[in-house]
Structure 1
């Protein structure tokens, strides 16, 4: 009888590393990066602190070496097949075992799988990995191209592009063993891959097919005929396997299936499957898959205005509400399982149903997709290309094919995975960014760039995706058309950057409404805690402080924030107040955008804010800062993404009131408008019964500014309400910008109800109430009327909660 298969992680082995120029080996952590290992030995300072990023740039030009000693056990040695799987090597490596060259790698995203039976010896073995500088390798590859590529050398190396620096992230070009290293040994047969195809789903049954790859290359003839496969205990016989990699399909039926539903629609129901290969009644290999049953379509149909772009999930059009995701740390191995699950839970709590994994980052860890599966969050997954030109020589094509195959195989069974997109803004970069003129391209050079683009994103990637996962949805580039072109608003997906980059006022969002907004945003400062986390010593909270300036990566960032702030707010001189108002400004801009998109449903069927999270403490477009604190934007997003909201639209002197209903059922109730002064007194009111259709945006009322009748709009707020049998949906609408409001001084009282709950009240309108304390508040940055009491939950008890409101910044 042959030995049992074994799987062992080598990551916990005693790894060492060194600069190849040095003699001395130092202790290393695997998974890890050379930067974090150097930090652990205090050879470099923490690049997230002070202005230390500048001090560590030398690392990217050096070559590094890692090694470990490991012992092969008798059990492992007796198995015929011995395999090393390097799940993530960053990026250019030469690997040796016991002094013998094993293989070379050149893709951070593609696992390296190597048979090592002929290289290992019983007892002690030495594994050595030399990492060559990605910057040096990229520069060498650039010499082979007859014209200069933008962002060279980053676009020539298959590595996380954001590591080369972005307008929200530091330049930290890492090297190292960033994922697990495993030693697997086995005899007989091994499951290589499983793709679960959902053939058909009805209320009564789901017909599935398990497409399974089984390696039986080392099994004996007698055993070959007796091999069986079981799926959740159901045994399939007569496999007729060959002594090779076998592709075998098994049908499976689920009666009365429960569907995986997106957040806001229903429960994300999941099914667990165990697939086992059996020989003579004994399990010789098994694999588990967790799937959700659901159908998804991307619907693009011509209409009188252009072409639709929306997702139909389980047969129903789904309005997409979500955000863009960047890697949650500049040093990827530091992202914990808990951090992934917390950020996705925060997205769910903000009523999101989709996350776009941006192409300048990575194909995320399994835990990210598990968290999305469990929380009903759909994933728009970019392939890892962003904002540059990419080559298409044969070597690059093969590298990309290998990357696509390995990542699609890994992720294809996740019910959250909705769409694969070729890249982020590569089409846009070629067509709109003027690089050809900047780098003085000839006509032939420009044609070659376009040919390279077509080869990679319209041939290599979609063909490889189709081979591995035939039912996957593919979209070549996001956006499909750049924001300067009118078609960007009538078809496809849009990255509208007229706000921020174009410095247009927030109100332009009311005019520039696309079919699907996959990117748009505005910067805001992080929490005070995250701002203080930029300093190694005592924080000097001053906008001119070089540390704070170093943690703003956009060249015109402060200038643009100030320009917008002057339009809508009184610009504070006090740092804490400036931090607060910058967050209000960001939230205000995104509220205007979200509501414009949602009001225009079903013309617009999706809105994804740039961006959810940060990779270090920074002033950025994020809604949640690096420490996990919600900025004002995330609180506002939660309100703006509620399944039912009111929204106002102004045309001249007329106001239209819209009710947006994302639920798949009608809403009936008593609609009420109340014009209030800031003491909460009703000056005018109106009410009526309304019925709003499911999954719709409906104008329910309109009026002109005669409503004021001598009352100044600087002293009035409109309260809009709908009372239904089970809840009250309400909104406050102000008629002028925040800086023009004649706000009275509020007396805000905070009453402790329990150790983790408070009640907030006020005597007059309190605009943008900001609760301050070392805890997470269930709500914050909210408007409060004098006749209301707001109950707020705290994540941990506090002795004291400080508070301010917009009135404090206007003195």
Structure 2
């Protein structure tokens, strides 16, 4: 940068700073204490009281041992935070000074220099308080006094004459999972969980910029930029979008300015698997004459998303049309990445979303019992082509609908819609998780002895919040009238026939209903937004549950404490006995529990994909964990891929071969989710023994064209024709889909028996170092479910290895030693 440009930049920046600037107070020296105590202790902002107590060694690490039980007292206490910050005479000359809290958890009173300036009752809202009249030159004392959310919630519950399930969490607008879940601990925390800042401004400021997409063609994108501007000084200004300028006249107070903007020959934001998620940067600049008053930088993507629901012979479709094409959704459900959200780093957000991309996903559902995630989460989704199904933060309970609650919810919706709506990844707003389901199917009314009027009141309250308040707020505050709203996930509970013929479905016949995995082949809905099965985390994460030397025993109380489902171990063992031999060795048990989880989800995902286009989406439960735990996750708390995530990567490939064994017939489905045609594809399959020898001659299915975004069902083979007089426990199919030039598009294996029945031979698996970051793995006979163990991430793991077919594996970090386990080891 030359000196002239540098001077110009500094001059403009200093003028902006003079007109509008922000100063973070998070880095000030904060203190906290229990209101019953007199001693102040150091605190961090953003943070939570649990983290501050841990930092000051008042409590042990709640994630370790059985320490969760030892910290339950915290939720019933009141806590106070304070800091002293300086304000200069120059700063005080600004016409307007606002104190902005991005997140306060949850019930608090805010004091500045001894005077109460505000109170809060919602963790998910931004609180902006004018404070110029309360500030002074020099030291200023800021205090935030938090009341116990549990005790406050109990008092709010007294306003309803019947018992609400999950009380008091239903009355508290804070992250519902903090009250405990069947995968998470109970840490009902408090604190300043997001940034705090002072905002200085004078003539005017940009309050909000909404970018609406009026139309989109190959030739042009027509945008509507809607800027909300608060003017202290009325008069003539100009509003610039990149290099386009419009003169405007502002009145004192709130002004809404709309400005059209065109992009020629637009590059589309494409979801993962369809192309690049191209984006554009827009600089929205407010100017007074030649002086820049305020700026807002937006990064947008140009795309269309529609939710298509059309009646058909089976019921009603439910699928997303992206950029004019039906898209088969492949993805997962997201829960908060930590029980204490402020310590989730940008790097952790980026890694988890990259994990989604690498596993061939194109959508993630943000579950309604957590938080509206950090900006970095949505940024990562934008950059990686991952669409977001965004629940509002209501989950699995009944909720009140009094006037105060309605107003609080509307303000919450406003803040979140305005914050998130410009992200191209945002596909759908959903009112709640399983609230409709809880009212209709869970029997709370009978359990709590509701009168008919009580039950009617619950339903009226539900309708008010999720069919009026939230959708009306979206219409009011969203940039586009094309914003998609879906009242509840699921739309119909899994015990009802209609749940499989319309809407989205949460199918829990597996796990909760203890139905066999094979039931997934029958229970296929139009869009499967939840289903799952538990598996243990990696050995490293399991060991992290202990503060000292780990005692790795399935009956160890620490291990048991990190399984939050009341019947979790029992259910895992029931399913394991069906499909595997239950190992006595703990490491082998850990390994088999992961294989079991992966096998169940493979059966589910493949049943869903075979049903395309009847079924157009599969989101398994769940991607991640909030602490070290035995759970439904595919990536454990420390970021390690479980067997499930490796299997998901394979099952979600854009081209897959999906065999189906039914009525003594073997059907083959070939799925193509990509927007490209494969001419003259053929399916070759070898019938192999478990020793890797060919059994008879190889078969070839007929040559056909695989259409873009299509499904190809090949002519079936009779099982007798394939198996003949072979023992089905001793053979398997190796399947290869080839193009016209005989290149392999995709390949997979199909076994005719459950894993426990396979007559495996001991494999001699060798690992050869190719380079510090690459190894080659080979075997003399079939090595089933090869598990590579080492302190790094492997590009593939928990895979079947064919004899004399070496496989190259990339390492995230170099290793000196790698151990190997296979399924054979657990059976002998």
Query: For the superposition of Structure 1 and Structure 2, which TM-score range results when normalised by the shorter chain?
Result: over 0.9
Question: 2:812 maps to what in 1?
Answer: 795
Pick the aligned partner of 1:280 from 280, 285, 289.
Answer: 289
Residues 283-305 of structure 1, C-alpha deviations (whole Å, 9 max, x = no match): 01111100000001000000000
Deviation, structure 1 residue 700: 1.4
Deviation, structure 1 residue 671: 1.9
Residues 370-423 of structure 1, C-alpha deviations (whole Å, 9 max, x = no match): 000000000000000000000000000011001000000000000000000000
Question: 2:547 maps to what in 1?
Answer: 536
Pick the aligned partner of 2:488 from 470, 473, 477.
Answer: 477
Does 1:94 pair with 2:109? yes
Does structure 1 retain, via aligned residues, the 8 Å contact 2:736–2:744? Answer: no
3-state secondary structure, aligned to 2:417: helix
Task: For 1:45-84, list aligned pairs within 5 A.
Answer: 45-84=60-99
Does 1:681 pair with 2:682? no
Residues 158-184 of structure 1, C-alpha deviations (whole Å, 9 max, x = no match): 000000000000000010000000100
Question: 1:509 maps to what in 2?
Answer: 520
Deviation, structure 1 residue 20: 0.5
Does 1:762 pair with 2:779? yes
Pick the aligned partner of 1:752 from 769, 772, 787.
Answer: 769
Counterparts of 2:724 and 2:196, CA distance in 1 = 74
Pick the aligned partner of 2:143 from 113, 125, 128.
Answer: 128
Counterparts of 2:267 and 2:685, CA distance in 1 = 42
Question: 2:173 maps to what in 1?
Answer: 158
Does structure 1 retain, via aligned residues, the 8 Å contact 2:281–2:299? Answer: yes
Counterparts of 1:151 and 1:275, CA distance in 2 = 45
Question: 2:7 maps to what in 1?
Answer: none
Pick the aligned partner of 2:716 from 691, 694, 702.
Answer: 702
Question: 2:556 maps to what in 1?
Answer: 545
Q: 4+ residue runs of structure 1 moved beyond 6 angstroms?
A: none
Counterparts of 1:311 and 1:75, CA distance in 2 = 54
Deviation, structure 1 residue 719: 1.0
Question: 2:35 maps to what in 1?
Answer: 20
Task: For 1:19-418, list aligned pairs within 5 A.
Answer: 19-216=34-231, 218-219=232-233, 221=234, 224-225=235-236, 227-237=237-247, 239-418=248-427
Counterparts of 1:757 and 1:699, CA distance in 2 = 38
Relative to the length of structure 1, the TM-score reads 0.98
Counterparts of 1:490 and 1:122, CA distance in 2 = 67
Counterparts of 2:685 and 2:122, CA distance in 1 = 60
Counterparts of 2:568 and 2:118, CA distance in 1 = 45
Does structure 2 retain, via aligned residues, the 8 Å contact 1:671–1:690? Answer: no
Q: Which runs of 5+ in 2 are unaligned?
A: 1-14
Counterparts of 1:751 and 1:211, CA distance in 2 = 60
Deviation, structure 1 residue 710: 1.4
Does 1:774 pair with 2:791? yes
Does structure 2 retain, via aligned residues, the 8 Å contact 1:756–1:793? Answer: yes
Counterparts of 2:665 and 2:306, CA distance in 1 = 39
Q: Which runs of 5+ in 1 are unaligned?
A: none
Counterparts of 1:662 and 1:415, CA distance in 2 = 21
Counterparts of 1:479 and 1:322, CA distance in 2 = 16
Question: 1:584 maps to what in 2?
Answer: 595
Question: 1:693 maps to what in 2?
Answer: 707
Deviation, structure 1 residue 13: 0.3
Does structure 1 retain, via aligned residues, the 8 Å contact 2:19–2:203? Answer: no
Residues 477-524 of structure 1, C-alpha deviations (whole Å, 9 max, x = no match): 000000000000000000000000000000000000000000000000
3-state secondary structure, aligned to 2:86: strand
Counterparts of 1:675 and 1:186, CA distance in 2 = 74
Question: 1:463 maps to what in 2?
Answer: 472
Counterparts of 1:116 and 1:605, CA distance in 2 = 52
Deviation, structure 1 residue 681: 1.7
Does structure 2 retain, via aligned residues, the 8 Å contact 1:164–1:170? Answer: yes
3-state secondary structure, aligned to 2:573: helix
Question: 1:612 maps to what in 2?
Answer: 623
Residues 91-111 of structure 1, C-alpha deviations (whole Å, 9 max, x = no match): 000000000010100000001
Does structure 2 retain, via aligned residues, the 8 Å contact 1:205–1:255? Answer: yes
Does 1:656 pair with 2:667? yes
CA RMSD of aligned residues (A): 1.0
Does structure 1 retain, via aligned residues, the 8 Å contact 2:655–2:745? Answer: no
Counterparts of 1:210 and 1:122, CA distance in 2 = 39
3-state secondary structure, aligned to 1:240: strand
Does structure 1 retain, via aligned residues, the 8 Å contact 2:792–2:813? Answer: yes
Deviation, structure 1 residue 4: 2.9
Aligned residues: 805
**Mean CA deviation greater in 658-667 or 174-183:** 658-667
Residues 173-217 of structure 1, C-alpha deviations (whole Å, 9 max, x = no match): 01000000010011000000011011111111111110000000x
Question: 1:600 maps to what in 2?
Answer: 611
Counterparts of 1:395 and 1:79, CA distance in 2 = 35
Does structure 1 retain, via aligned residues, the 8 Å contact 2:690–2:759? Answer: no
3-state secondary structure, aligned to 1:249: strand
